A and B are shown apart, each in its own frame.
Chain A
Amino acid sequence: MLSSRHIIDIRDLTTDDIMSILDTAESFKEVNERRIKKLPTLRGRTVINLFLEPSTRTRTSFEIAAKRLSADGVNFSASTSATVKGESLADTAATLSAMACDLVVVRHKYAGAPRILAKHMDAHIINGGDGMHEHPSQALLDLFTMRERAGRLEGLTVGIVGDIAHSRVAGSLVPALRAVGATPIIIAPPTLMPARPDVLGAEAVTSLDEVIGDLDVAYMLRIQMERAEGMPFPSVREYSRLFGMNETRLAKMRSSAFIMHPGPMNRGVEISAAVADSDRSVVLNQVNSGVAVRMAAMYLLLGGEGGGGAA
């Protein structure tokens, strides 16, 4: 059981909640290595994937997680959603409520959308990413991956590099790292910094090279290359030169340090192909942990309400 009914902001969770999700995910991870990767735990429970912004990766990860727990998973995606027909999210919430679902995973292009759902329905809500705000399940799987690779979380120094201002991944990861005793540093040109990095809880620096030797983890964010408004840096080439992860920079890092990326990667922009594919990168581990962590989140939200035991 978690102390919160929902996982909307990472701050909804206490440090104990975070740790119990990570620990529970360990046992689910082991299930995922079996030949029959299925538990009866959430049999009869209905999980709706409400993806009002396309994201195949995250949606698939949640979908697999629900299936492995034997929940009935239903996709309610952007193309079939009523939102495009002018129905409000509150209306959608009422509709889903009428279908009596137990848990809704919501991905939405606007910040705060999961709060609207939570207000209008009884189901548990997991935020699968809302606007530029938060993406808590990503932060949790990132913590899981870090702990797996480094053997600890406390005391790690994690540099998050890139478009912090518009990144929901950073929005959740920074406070998550703080909660578990790690030290986040956000690294970006001022045009990609949030107005108040201190509010997120991170030290902000504008030079990757200045801090690279101090990092246990370099977390590279995806650069949005197709923006409508003015580009916040002069060229992809210049960005890559100043903020990209490459073999030269990797060589300046501690030998135990490793590289993360939430995907999908722009190879050659924020991360070189050689680094992405090296054994210093844990990008695929992140994807792999995603399913187990999301199983844990669902299980703990719905657990204590008549679900079976974990593994």
Chain B
Amino acid sequence: MAVLLRGGRVVDPQVGLDEVADVIVRDGVIVEIGPDLTIPKGVTVECAEKVIVPGLVDVHTHLREPGFEYKEDVRSGTRAAAHGGYTAVCAMPNTRPVCDTGSTVRFLAERAESAGAVRVHVIGACTAGQKGTALAEIGDMVAEGAVAFSDDGHGVADAGMARLVMDYAKQFGTTVISHCEDLALVGKGVVNEGAVSTRLGLPGWPAAGEETMVARDIALAELTGCRVHLAHLSTGRSIELVREAKARGIAVTCEVTPHHLFLDEDVLDTGYDTNLKMNPPLRTAGDREALIVALLDGTIDAIATDHAPHASHEKALEFEIAPFGTTGLETALALVITHLVASERLEWKDLVRLMAQGPRAALGLPELRLEAGMPADITIIDPEARVEVTPALFESRSSNSAFLGSSLLGKASEVLVGGRFALRNGKVVD
């Protein structure tokens, strides 16, 4: 099948592209980019006023399958991804059972093949059962296609164990993704320790609970030479540590989430809204600003959703016992456009760097550029479209969004995965 994307603003800083052009896709591959192209037969998508970028990838998605299909599964999660403009997601391993063997990796890869609306890259666990006490079969999982390793959901508490994981993973050239949370400091913490924990009488999750682990894992990245990716950083001091490590040439990358970029602890007010309960928690306005500065100066490699679907009856619990997390796949792009691109703090090429190129580089995924010969994984964005964030918006099985009630600007209209439409006119293609 041939597809002509006509007259869009084609943006890819990797090939120095930012101009209005046509794109021809045939047999799953980009065949030509240039002015005034035509195809004899096939599908033409009018892209005037739209932006064409390399397919977005989310490095931090919880698909919940196997084990928690009532929250999300491969099908609903990848449909949500397509709806949000992603051509690929990286699935975190804290499922039931934990994804810590080659066979679970293969199961997920097969599920993605049969039910996935977009590509799924599998992240395996670092330690068996994510218990932090014994190495998981990392080599087996690599053989089945796992792209990175993480005990996300928990920090690897024992520094010796964390070192072992990095030393071992290094031989496969894979990235270790670190969830930076020192449980001894965080304990039962559920909101940022400070003004809000004091006002709401909730156990505090101190910034130092993240920062000490960030410092430790940077030291271990240096010691082992393993590539380390720091997940969902939330504090200004964490960012400073990364900035300093990068300056010293340590192989460390990091991500931030839209909720840490665009919300701070003050939104918690006195409402005890569990959709705002995150791990790590929403931090201060100062932290938020530090994260945005770091987006612009290149310290942050990726905007990741940490898409964490939960059933409504779970989020309806008391704040202290409700699960952590917000869905994110279907709002991330719109949030970035609304808060950063529309206000011109971020350019389109930065968006490509943070939501397509940087995430791939961090996990060592194959490069993807808008040029002839590359797989046709492409996201087409309508920057003027309105997105009303209501439960009805979501393709995800869950609607625990921290942004319910917002009115946002910009959304994906088309998503092509390997030349096939996963999203067409804003609707997920079955």
Partner-B contacts on A (CB < 8 A): 9, 11, 88-90, 108, 110-113, 115-116, 130-134, 168, 171, 194-197, 199-200, 229
Contacts and interface: CB of A to CB of B under 8 A. Distances in A.
A189 to B, nearest CB: 17
B319 interface: yes
A169 to B, nearest CB: 11
B248 interface: no
B201 A134 contact: yes
A212 to B, nearest CB: 25
Contacts of A11: 270
B318 interface: yes
Contact of A110 (B194, B271, B320): B320
A90 B272 CA distance: 13
A115 B320 contact: no
A115 B197 contact: no
A110 B319 contact: yes
B184 to A, nearest CB: 10
A196 B199 CA distance: 9
Given A130-B201, A133-B202, A195-B204, A111 B272 contact: yes
Interface of B: 187, 193-195, 197-204, 206, 270-272, 313, 316-321
B318 to A, nearest CB: 4
A168 B201 CA distance: 7
B201 A113 contact: no
A110 B198 contact: no
B198 A131 contact: no
A198 B325 CA distance: 29
A88 B272 CA distance: 15
Nearest to A166: B201
Contacts of A90: 316
Contact of B319 (A9, A112, A196, A197): A112
A229 B189 CA distance: 13
A61 B203 CA distance: 29
B318 A110 contact: yes
Given A88-B316, A110-B321, A196 B200 contact: no
Nearest to B188: A229
B193 A132 contact: no
B198 A197 contact: yes
B56 to A, nearest CB: 36
A11 B317 CA distance: 24
Contact of B270 (A115, A116, A199): A115
A89 B193 CA distance: 26
Nearest to A200: B198
7 contacts: A89-B318, A111-B319, A112-B320, A116-B316, A134-B201, A195-B194, A195-B195
Interface hub of B194, B197, B318, B321 (most chain A Cβ within 10 A): B318
Nearest to A110: B318
Contacts of B198: 194-197, 199-200
A132 B202 contact: yes
Contact of A116 (B187, B195, B204, B318): B318
B400 to A, nearest CB: 14
A111 B270 contact: no
Nearest to B199: A199
B204 A111 contact: no
B313 A88 contact: yes
Nearest to B270: A9
A67 to B, nearest CB: 29
B283 to A, nearest CB: 13
A111 B322 CA distance: 12
B286 to A, nearest CB: 14
Contacts of B272: 111-112, 115-116
Contact of B200 (A112, A197, A229): A112
Given A111-B201, A195-B197, A199-B198, A229 B271 contact: no
A199 B195 contact: yes
Given A112-B272, A229-B187, A196 B202 contact: no
A90 B316 CA distance: 7
B212 to A, nearest CB: 17
Contacts of B317: 88-89
Given A131-B202, A133-B200, A195-B204, A113 B194 contact: no
Contacts of A108: 318
B203 A132 contact: yes
Given A111-B200, A115-B270, A195-B193, A131 B320 contact: yes
A232 to B, nearest CB: 12
A105 B198 CA distance: 23
A130 B319 CA distance: 11
B50 to A, nearest CB: 41
Contacts of B187: 229
Contacts of B200: 111-112, 133
Given A88-B316, A111-B272, A199-B195, A133 B204 contact: no
Contacts of B321: 110
Contact of A115 (B194, B202, B204, B271): B271
A111 B320 contact: yes
Contacts of B197: 194-196
B204 A171 contact: no
A93 to B, nearest CB: 10
Interface hub of A9, A110, A171 (most chain B Cβ within 10 A): A110
A212 B335 CA distance: 54
